Amino acid sequence: QTSFDLSDPEVQLWMLETAKAARKTANLYISPRAKTWIEVLEEETKKINITFPLQQSDFAGFVSLMMENSNFRRLYGGDIGTTGPGVGGNFVFTSLTFLQEVGGRESREALLKRWESFVNELNSNALLKTGQAVIYSNAFNEAYRKNAILSTTLSSWALANGLCLLIILLFTQNILLSILVMLTVILMVISLMGFVLVVLSIEFGP
């Protein structure tokens, strides 16, 4: 959004509070070994006795100095988007990158639902000037695709069955017979799906 200004002290505080809130949410399994850029920024200001959040006029210059550090630039260079090179121009977006340590405890679908719940609660309490947060992760792409394929497949299947029922009803003029025919077709499809998924062990989805 055009009104987004990351240098605003309230936005800086909101970003820091968001990072801390995510870490306090135990079922997100966020690792303490990797910090977000806003947490690093706060730590650096404390080291040199500068009050956080930074003044709006000082923010871009301070972040530019931090970007001169190759390690900081490598880790967080893509987390701040502007219309100009580096941190020049107007701010367009910012992101907080977290490292999760999940192992085999949770499926990606379950984790995605927990992140969606966290982000929905976050957005419901967000300031107007911060905009709305969204989730993005390569680890969740497969879950997104599966959900999209499943929802479109079910809706297409329901639409096709509805049209078939109308056509059969139009020709037979018998509601009971039409329903029996559709139930037979649906049971055949379910049986075929069970054979493909269970017997042949072909995974549903991308």
pLDDT by residue (tens digit) across 31-90?
Answer: 998 999 999 999 999 999 999 999 999 999 999 999 999 999 999 999 999 988 878 888
pLDDT of residue 19: 95
CA–CA separation, 177 and 67 (whole Å): 72
Separation CA 192–CA 190 (nearest Å):
5
DSSP string, 49-99: T--SSPPHHHHHHHHHHHHTSHHHHHHHGGGEEESSSTT-S-EEEE-----
pLDDT level of residue 205 (50, 70, 90 thresholds):
low
Phi first, then psi, for residue 148 (nearest 5°) are: -65, -45
**DSSP-derived 3-state class of residue 100:** strand
> Percentage of residues in the chain with pLDDT exceeding 90?
42
Whose tokens are 């300031």? That residue is 127
| pLDDT for the residue 138 | 80
